[in-house]
Amino acid sequence: MRPLLFQRLQDLRRRRVPVALITDLAGDGQALFVPDEGGVEGALPLSAEQQGKIAAMLRQSASGLLDDTVFVRAYGAPWSLVLVGAVHIAQFLAPMARLAGFDVTLIDPRRAFASDHRFPGLHLVVGWPDEVMAETPPGRQSAVVTLTHDPKIDDPALSAALRSPAFFIGALGSSRTHAKRIERLRAGGAAPADLARIAAPVGLDLGGRAPAEIAVAVLAEVIGARYGRQRVPR
């Protein structure tokens, strides 16, 4: 690999940017495919169809042959879950999501709730979620779920999430609560197409009502979205 291409690959991996190294096995051509930063870099030309297939492989961190002569080494970003609200359900949802392979970040401006003794070993951020997500925006492999039922916390978090390419955005609360939430977000300038991205009430309809059961339902819907399953509205 050419030194400059190698350095670029190492830089992207340090920044956890999804990238695929493409190698022409029949020659010496190589390229980097960086969907988040402009496409193809390097000496190996790739068609639009090939780029689409590589993007699909990259989403699942799947390496392998693209065709008989082109090999793809995928370096996908880790799947992540951003939880807004250090509430009781989060105490079940966060460890479940970590067991399922997600990097979990919990954001809450209320220090009394977002404490280490309530969430041992978890990445906690005490701050307003819109400010936190402005500094570290959710990526294409991030899900964002709001849990507080408090519009002062959830609404700004959802607005920030809608400005990101997050693959899933969910909000806890009843259908009536969500209808009022949509009115507020629309009044704040959110477009109908953006508002349609919010899954609410979040979670598959499994019938459970206990906090742990709700956490299972939420995580199940996030995992389904990760693998492209279409949401079934309640």
pLDDT in tens, 53-75: 998 898 888 899 998 889 999 99
Helix then strand then coil, in percent of the chain rounded to 5, is 40, 20, 40
Higher pLDDT, 88 or 60: 88
| Per-residue pLDDT, 68 | 84
Q: Where in the chain is the domain with CATH 3.40.50.720?
A: 80-226
Contacts for 71 with CB less than 8 Å, ≥ 6 apart: 22, 23, 25, 63, 64, 65
Does 233 have pLDDT greater than 80? no
Contacts for 123 with CB less than 8 Å, ≥ 6 apart: 103, 104, 105, 106
Does 222 have pLDDT greater than 90? yes
Task: Determine contact, residues 74/61, Cβ cutoff 8 Å.
Answer: yes
| Per-residue pLDDT, 229 | 87
User: In this structure, what DSSP letter does residue 140 have?
Assistant: T
End-to-end CA distance of the chain, in Å?
Answer: 51
Confidence category of residue 234, pLDDT binned at 50, 70, 90: low
Contacts for 93 with CB less than 8 Å, ≥ 6 apart: 83, 145, 147, 215, 218, 219
The residue type at 98: R
Confidence category of residue 82, pLDDT binned at 50, 70, 90: very high
Question: Token match 């400010």: residue?
Answer: 131
**CATH code assigned to 80-226:** 3.40.50.720
Does 8 have pLDDT greater than 70? yes
| Per-residue pLDDT, 1 | 66
| Per-residue pLDDT, 2 | 77
Average pLDDT of span 30-44: 83
Q: In the structure encoding, which two tokens stand for residue 228, read together?
A: 């492209």
Question: Token match 């009044």: residue?
Answer: 187
What percentage of the chain reaches a pLDDT higher than 70?
A: 98
Indicate the pairing of strand 103-108 with strand 80-84: parallel
| Per-residue pLDDT, 197 | 97
Strand order in the sheet with 30-34: 39-42, 30-34, 19-24, 70-75, 64-65
Distance CA 222, CA 45 (A): 35
| Per-residue pLDDT, 5 | 86
**Which regions of the chain does DSSP assign to beta strands (E)?**
19-24, 30-34, 39-42, 64-65, 70-75, 80-84, 103-108, 123-126, 142-146, 168-171, 198-199
